[in-house]
Chains A and B, each alone.
Chain A
Amino acid sequence: MKVPHMTTSKISVSEAGASDVKPLLEIRDLAISFATSGGEVQAVRNAHLTIMPGETVAIVGESGSGKSTTALAAIGLLPANGRVSGGQILLDGEDIAGAPEKRMIELRGNTIGMVPQDPMSNLNPVWKIGYQVRETLRANGRPDGPDDVARVLAEAGLPDAHRRAKQYPHEFSGGMRQRALIAIGLSCQPRLLIADEPTSALDVTVQRQILDHLDKMTTELGTSVLLITHDLGLAAERADKVVVMYRGNVVEAGPSLDLLRNPRHPYTQRLVASAPSLASRRIQVAKELGVESEDLLAPSEASPGAAFTGTTAQHRAQQGKDKPEEVLRVENLSKVFKLRSGIGRSADFTAVDSVSFGVKRGTTTAIVGESGSGKSTVAQMVLNLLPPTSGRIVFDGVDTATLNSREIFAFRRRVQPIFQDPYGSLDPMYNIFRTIEEPLRTHKVGNRASREKKVRELLDQVALPQSTMQRYPNELSGGQRQRVAVARALALDPEVIICDEAVSALDVLVQAQVLNLLADLQANLGLTYLFITHDLAVVRQIADHVCVMEKGRLVETGATDDVFDAPQQEYTKALLNAIPGASLMLPPEVATA
């Protein structure tokens, strides 16, 4: 491989003495600050990491931990209000932290490539894919004929590359767009590739394919990879070294398996304990065994249910004896959407195809599937927000299609939803008190004083301080909003709660916190959950039963442990294999400790 900058590299004495391999990228004591209206804000402090040639290093951290900022600094693409306020970024010994823009333009593409996060917004929709690849090739002085473009795309795993190069981004699926972005990132054979959450927007099976291919390509080319991810399992599986960032600092770094098996910093310990892809047991079950993964979580905001968990097993057993019946039964449920395909014509699209399952009182049933599997459509129909095309939904012995408007109003009291997007599901104009009070007011429960008392109780139940009442959703984090949504769903003492991807948008630790909260509430209140998710790892933590959906059809159902231990269908096996970190086989004491 051609190495144009060899002549400029300096060899420091200590490294030359230790071995003949010099680091490709070395970040030393990096500090990055942003100029905001409130003054200078330090985003990154004391960051250091080393990438050897051919090595994959992952930065792991929650949102706002500074992981992307560090990577952007390495390629000189910090936002206009950000600047490197200290430290060095050494590329082959050359400090590029304060390098002029001209030098950075030389380096970008050729020496440092980048695969951005969101495949939906990072391709220009008005240019053909081929043009966008050619642009990169030309900018770096490489041959840019149609054959070169096709070769680059084919290397990234796009079949039929000549034809694909003539298509526009909207004709590509998410996975194909990500492949195109990887093709662009690697087109000039850079020595370092920065991949910023390259697959977090994709389904797990697609994610696996893409990462496998990325691995293969970078191994062949000898490219070093700086992988940025929030998923510890994924980082450990794909990277040689893992760097954990927390609040702008590097808190722990080391070889990935060592770090995972033997986390030393309390933050890493927290992360390892709550990473869903590494956990092996249902939260509830773990609790009954006296293992509280929560001990590692927020000490001050521990879940209120913790005190009651001693009675959990008893409580649940009692529930099981008293009401063994199915509270919800879905029979041959189908939904056909009419898609417009020209004037006066329409094509039928079967989103849900003859789905049947039952949910027992006091248990959690998860519906798992990738995007487009029809799982959310099922949820909408069970919530009576969308009429089914055919089939029946029986709630507590009554077909919901036969309900009149008064009965639907009563039904709404007993079945409550929690939605995916914590930023969209709370009215920004309502303060938290009005938000949680709304169901009570709508159903004319109690007077103002008793409603306020109930809201205070609910906030206690979801472990939010009562002073939150006067605040507005825009002042809360995603996890806090989701807890408010849980409180609102609980206000009417419902029997069934339908969680539509309720934790998908949250950081790992916050996700674990909300899942624990849901498990506690189930134990204390005997709730029944229907949990819609794409994340099998979450399913294992929360569900008793699981229904796997593919393209509108139910392909496999069963008890969670059975499905995870002995999947019957190829599709289920593929899904399970695709969970990042699943192959690492951590000893259980690490996974739950």
Chain B
Amino acid sequence: MTSNYQADHYVAPIDETPLLATDSVRTDQAPLSLWAEAWRKLRRRPLFIVSVLLIVLLVVIALFPGLFTQVAPNDNCDLQFSDGPPTAGHPFGYTFQGCDVFSRVIHGTQASLSVGVLSVFFVLVIGVTLGALAGFFGGWLDAVIARLGDIFFALPLVLGALVITQLPFFKDNKSVWTVVMVIVLLAWPQMARITRGAVMEVRNADFVTAARSLGVSRMGSLLRHVLPNALAPIIVLATMELGVFIVAEATLSFLGIGLPGSVMSWGNDIAAAQPSLRTNPAVLLYPATALSITVLSFIMLGDALRDALDPKSRQR
């Protein structure tokens, strides 16, 4: 240094910044797992609270429709009330066939929700299994599963469903189960893809290598380390797909290739309300609104979950 300026040797007073033990463990907080952390973030979000309340309400309606209406939906249909306005005890009015709309909306919840839940369940079983195997083991297994998935992925839902439901077996056995089968058959590749991507991201993590060098088998490390860490996108997708599958059921029922007319569902009711759209639009409005609210609440829940489970927003 050439300047004639001479720097002083400055030392801060020691009591100003007392030394802490190097790298001590914080013991003042309760232990916090990633799930607990996500829950803490979730429970304060209005989006989450509203969607969960709605979903709880829907589940209660589906399980105990009797709590909400004493009117049996099909028995007391009386043509003298056809397209009638709301009356006492029948707040939504009557259908073209003279049935109580409120009762039908309440009782239709069961079919819609059960199709959604069952479809998601089987999509999870098939999609997660195949996706995890493909992502973890790679190679020819990955190639076969990926191409198989692409075949189904390329089929639009309605077109695919039209073709499949024309098969004799499906034609003769129309029920909740056939609709679930159609949806699962066409929707599993999406789940498999997401799982495959998530698994591939985790499988090369150091903690997986560490587990393998401890002597954990390949299957063991997939089940115990890779999958639990790949769960976040799977949970988000499953929640959103529940909503999507309920719409799919309604679409298929509306087109007449979904649930049989004997099963009460919002899709069937929307289809049945079509002729009286101009004279009595309310009949269409009620099942359609119920459908929208249901789908919306599942999609909102999925959104809230995605924000909470996003690894980027986690503290290290």
Q: Which residues of A contact B (CB under 8 A)?
A: 19, 21, 46, 50, 52-55, 240-241, 246-247, 249-255, 258-259, 262, 264-267, 270, 297-301, 383-385, 408-409, 412-413, 416-417, 419-421, 423-429, 431, 438-439, 442-443, 464-465, 467-468, 470-472, 474-477, 479-480, 485, 488, 492, 509-510, 513
Contacts and interface: CB of A to CB of B under 8 A. Distances in A.
Interface stretch (B69-77, B112-120, B211-219, B261-269): B211-219
Interface stretch (B31-39, B135-143, B170-178): B31-39
B227 to A, nearest CB: 10
12 contacts: A249-B16, A251-B17, A262-B9, A267-B17, A298-B22, A385-B209, A413-B215, A419-B206, A427-B211, A471-B25, A472-B31, A480-B23
A350 to B, nearest CB: 23
Contacts of A55: 1, 3
Contact of B34 (A258, A424, A472, A509): A472
Contact of A475 (B12, B32, B207): B32
Most chain A CB inside 10 Å of its own CB: which residue of B9, B20, B228 = B9
Contacts of B7: 50, 240-241, 253-255
A476 B22 CA distance: 13
A270 B19 CA distance: 10
A465 B21 CA distance: 13
A549 B10 CA distance: 43
A301 B26 CA distance: 13
B11 A425 contact: no
B74 to A, nearest CB: 49
Contacts of A255: 7, 9
Contacts of A264: 9, 11
- Which 3 pairs across A and B sit closest by C-beta, in order of nearness? A254-B9, A412-B215, A424-B206
Given A412-B215, A439-B215, A475-B32, A427 B229 contact: yes
Nearest to A258: B9
Contact of B21 (A300, A421, A467): A300
Contacts of A259: 9
B24 interface: yes
A409 B215 CA distance: 5
Given A254-B8, A443-B215, A480-B25, 8 more contacts: A241-B7, A252-B10, A253-B7, A429-B33, A470-B31, A475-B26, A488-B210, A488-B214
Contacts of A470: 31
Contact of A425 (B2, B8, B21, B206): B206
Contacts of A413: 215
Given A249-B16, A266-B14, A431-B31, A424 B5 contact: no
B4 interface: yes
B16 A385 contact: no
Nearest to B311: A428
A154 to B, nearest CB: 28
A76 to B, nearest CB: 26
